[in-house]
Structure 1
Amino acid sequence: MRRLAIRLAVLYVLVSAAYIIISDAIVAGVGDALSPEDIVTVEVVKGLLFVLVSGVVFAIVGLQYARSAEKSESNFALVFAEHPDPMMIYDVETWRLLETNAAAHEKYGYSGEEFRALTVPELHPPQDREPTATFLKDHRPLRAESSSIVRHRGKDGRIFWVSIRSRDVKLNGRKVRICSITDLSDLTSARRDIEAMTAEEQRILVMLKVVAESIEDGFYTLDRSLTITHANKTFIDFLGMSGKDAIGRNWLELFPEARDSEPHLRIVAALEERRTTSVDTYDPRIDTWYRVLVYPFEGGVAVFYRDVSLEKKNELALRHEKENLSTLINNSDEVIYSIDTQHRLLVGNTAYLENMERLIGRRPVPGEDARSFLFGEAFTSRWADWFQQAVNGQRVDQEFDLDVPVVGKRILNAAFNPIIVDGQTVGVAIRVSDVTTARTHERRLREQAAQLSEVVERYEKLNQATNDAVWDWSMRDDSVFWNHGINTLFGYDVGRTPLSWWSDRVHPDDREEVLDHLTQWSVTGRSMWRHEYRFLCADGSYRWVLDRGSAIYDEQGTPIRMIGAMQDITASRLYLERIEEINVRLREIAQIASHELRGPLATVLSLLNLFNKESIEDPENTRIIGMIETSATDVDAVIHRIVQRTAELERDL
């Protein structure tokens, strides 16, 4: 249409110019002989003739174009209908198929009507439809011819690979896409069994190269001299050079370090023996494993390779896991062995072999009947029942007492696990554990738990009966649990506090001494701690307490807990202080009696010795009596003071 429009425009310009020049020249030649009315008539006729000539010219050109278009459409329809490859036309906007040729009907199995009921994504397998729809949305319209390799599905459900070449055109004013489809279904089998190809080798190899460009595996072909004859983009990118630089180069020239390597030897063997071969090889330069597949064909080999590093790492991890599991099983003290459904021994760990050697004097070998190693009719019967349950697909776990020869009475635990392959039980894995020590320990723990429960019960009753502030200090997290006594005695409504909560409430004058004493106690390891100090009450007053605690130690002798009680001794402490005060005053009275009274009495005694008992009338006696009277007065004064002090003491008490 664009070409027609240009052609018509050029033709119109040429015809118009020629007509105007010629008609104007004729009118100018005869203009002098014509009247003005005649000139007007001539101009009208000239215009009508121009319209007539233009119409005739355009009609001739249009008829020629219509005949050409009809011929082109007929040729296109003939080519479209008779083309040996499937061809399709579909609406770019709706993806609805509009026309298909006979080759498409034969290949896909749909009739023309059935095709027109489908959209392009519905030609693909279900799992490919969403990606196909996304591609169509992203490529509407096509800016140039496009090609792709995809999977299609026929009416019978058969899936095959195709190569599609597409171009957008306008048909009857409608945007459509014409697709030419090449069947590539044979290429998949060609890659799998290229070694079986005969006369079709070269043709299929060419097709294989087309597919190779669309896969992520590396691919290249070598002739018998190991010259690279073709390489896909993956291999070219790996080489880090352009395709034209790689094609024609010798393989050993590109990989000189690979001479006599396993891949090199396999390629040579494939060329000489014409057999398919493969090898896994490691490239230490880039720490990568590759799986190389070599397919011979007439005149050379096709080589595929892909990165299998992850697979190799998984294999290595699995092998290490198996080795670790085998080591773990063989180092286990538990007896582990497996037998088939006919009771034949398959394998046993080190513990099983050593125990059997101790019991029967030798190590069993695979294939022997495992029942021959059992002892005791009752145990053999139970073992057979457990084994049969496992063969039936059940997992059996039993604990029992057994009098084992040489060893004695033991408590054993046996687990019978079915070995299932492809849904069938092919054997039984058996694990036997000696749980005697564990069960004995559990019994002791239960006894200790019962004793502990009794102690806890007593503790709870004691806790309820006492008014003391009982505390439990966990040294691991430095927390202290308090009973109700902390509220009863000191007014604090707390249950669990950090140790610092307690130390902050010790009287400042006592705190350093108390904490030093507690630290020394923890170092010396004495079991009992005891100290008296003043403790702050919730109302701001201080009370004297007697704090006592006992430590609990771990296996290393380190104190981990301390349980104790704070007793309010304020009353007794004040009573003792009062007694001390009384003692001071009594000592003062005693001092008065011993010192101030002793002097006058000593004077009286001395004067009595001087008194003349033989002569009462002795004038000296009169003086002595006066002196005695003075001393008696002093004694009386002292006694009066003692009586006064005693009365004061009695009053204070």
Structure 2
Amino acid sequence: MDAKIISLFTHSKDVFFVMDMDGAIRYTNQAFLDTFNYSPADLEGLNIESICHPADKERKDENMGALLRDKKLTGYQSRIKAKDGCYFSMIWSLVLDDDGFIYSAGNVLTGMICNESHDIVEHTIKSLNEGFAVLDSNWTVIGFNPAFEAMANLEHAELQKTNFMQIKDLGINNKVEAEFSHSLTNNCTTQVQFLNTYSNTWLRINVYPYKNRLAVFIRDITEIKMQEWVLKLEKDVLELNASTQNTLAQNTAELLKGIENIFPEMLCSVLEVDDNDKLITLAAPRLPKPYCDSIEELPIGPNAGSCGTAAFHRKQIIVSDIENDPLWINYKHLAKPYGLKACWSTPVISSKGAKVLATFAIYYTTPREPNELELGIIARTVNILRVLIESKRTEENIMEQNHRLQTIANISSHELRRPVATIMGLVNLFDNEDLLNPLNKEIMTHLDTTSQELDGVIHSIVERTVYIKASGTDN
């Protein structure tokens, strides 16, 4: 390249670089380095495609054809990744020389945004559900949107010029502040998740440095974290259930303990419905035992508290105020001594829909109704309970059938052989030449007795076989 041209582009404020036909970068000016924050060493041997946005590849292939045909191309737009991972939208003018080198001069599109576009960006930021704030190098809040104002729980005038790290409702700890310092010092984006101990919520903060300032996006991810924990709990309980070492009651208790750890205000129970339509406690880790004893074997019915009614009507029953709900008129005196104020119960119905297996109940010590998150957790828990109960019942049924099959095998090998052997022996003793032989009469008597015995053994086998077939059609 001519020395004068090199000097011109070196001092130009436009972003400029030269690449060969394979996309290998051969030369860049200072504006390129400053805009994307690369050093000459970073770009050595680098291909332009490695810092272009993947979504621009199809457009690039199309425009290369036009460049080869016309030897020049103007108005070509692409996104280039800076060293910190952020993308800049660029508009380029390209020229292809006879030696196969492509000269590219460009400008950052954001520097050309009109006032109307600025209004759109400002409106979008204000409309975000996520909190957004701009901080200077001393963590002073110099800009924010309404969502951030709500998170901070401060008046607009109070929030201006406030130190971000000292906003009480955000619960910022030393680890989070260290991440902010690292982002600002190293000019790199970062993300941090932490428990806000002030409000007992989980927050996720994304930090983007720009010209010694930080753009900060904050999102409450409590629900996301809880869903992750519930998913892990379900996985752990199902793995536990796959082992035959634990009983159904033990596995159910582990599930309920996990839910109560995620939602500390919940008091959970599972009541099985027996063959007499009575409720039997399967698991209730944190409910007072005297209360559980007081409702043991209560019959289901149309007005039998939350669980009895849910099982009777085969639908979810939400009682937000035990003291004043007609379903609890005959049972509220049982709950009152233990401060139980609300009870939501959902039936666990068999997969074939034939019967109610159990009820899953959640108690609270304050009157309240479930929110969307809690309703979702209830539905997931009911599905897991169905799997636990049916798999254990299937397992028990298989064990029972195996026992009966073993019994049939024992009958076949011992009790059945004996009368058959007796009959065969008696037949051999029968005197066919002298039918009036007194011994024949005695043999016939023994044959009759033995055949009746054989009939009884066969009948016993048939009965057990019928039971095995019938037990496979339950639920």
Normalised by the length of structure 1, the TM-score is 0.22
> Larger Rg: 1 or 2?
1
Normalised by the length of structure 2, the TM-score is 0.30
* Greater RCO structure (CA 8 Å; 6+ sep): 2
